[in-house]
Structure 1
């Protein structure tokens, strides 16, 4: 729908050339804007419906007492936390201690480019906190 909005000036000029009556051209332009806006609103509504459904699923999962239903998020969170801790604290300390005792150590390479989106998404740091602050909800 964003592509349609970017083409409105082009369609507007085209309508000016096709429709000789200024009033008819303006009415057609207004209808074009309404159609573009309705499409954008429909897309936003669909995305909101999906997000609401996912939030409902998250509530059901979080209220479960079964480990494999409610325990996967904490498990993934701990794994991410341990990986970040090893990458930036444990690994360098292990390397320095091993070097001090004369043992060369090859530390495993942790690919953080795949880790950060997961960790930041779990922490809710994908911009939603900013939205909460702006709306005064936080």
Structure 2
């Protein structure tokens, strides 16, 4: 049970003591229950706006961090799957821990695929 759910129960229980109108009480209980979801949604929308501004920036140091993360993931996987195996014939080589690389790369690939799907189906917005 989440912290929000633990707090909503007692607060809505207090409404029974102070508000007699059943419709008003239900409306307030619903507002309290959805308050954290609304806040999280607004925070996410703000982060999306920041991401759009960063991606459109002309400077490589601002807009280039996403491609950099993608290249790091790709190079780590390339090293583990091909380079380490080839060098392992002659030398003892360490492996890269891919438990962090794979989820990041799959997320980036998923977002790229979603963007391509939007463009193919003409639902992508340019601005």
When normalised by structure 2's length, the TM-score is: 0.62
**Which residue among 74, 81, 89 is the counterpart of 2:74?**
81
Going from structure 1 to structure 2, the CA distance change for 1:42 and 1:74 (only over 3 Å counts) comes to same
Could you say what secondary structure the match of 1:90 adopts? helix
Give 1:118 deviation, angstroms. Answer: 2.6
Equivalences for 1:1-138 in 2 at 5 Å?
Answer: 1-4=4-7, 27=22, 31=25, 34-95=27-88, 98=89, 103=90, 105-124=91-110
Going from structure 1 to structure 2, the CA distance change for 1:93 and 1:2 (only over 3 Å counts) comes to farther
Alpha-carbon deviations, 1:19-58, whole Å to 9, x = none? xxxxx7xx5xx93x65553233211111111111111111
Q: Is the 8 A contact 2:57 2:63 kept in 1?
A: yes
Give 1:93 deviation, angstroms. Answer: 3.2
Determine which structure has more spread, i.e. the larger CA radius of gyration. Answer: 1
Gaps of at least 5 residues in structure 2 are 118-122
Alignment: residue pair count: 107
Larger fraction in helix: 1
Alpha-carbon deviations, 1:83-133, whole Å to 9, x = none? 0121123322332xx2xxxx3x212221122223332333346xxx6xx9x
Q: Is the 8 A contact 2:56 2:63 kept in 1?
A: yes
In the aligned structure 1, how far is the partner of 2:62 from the partner of 2:69? 13
Q: Is the 8 A contact 2:84 2:95 kept in 1?
A: no
RMSD: 3.4
In the aligned structure 1, how far is the partner of 2:96 from the partner of 2:28? 49
Which residue number corresponds to residue 120 of structure 2?
none
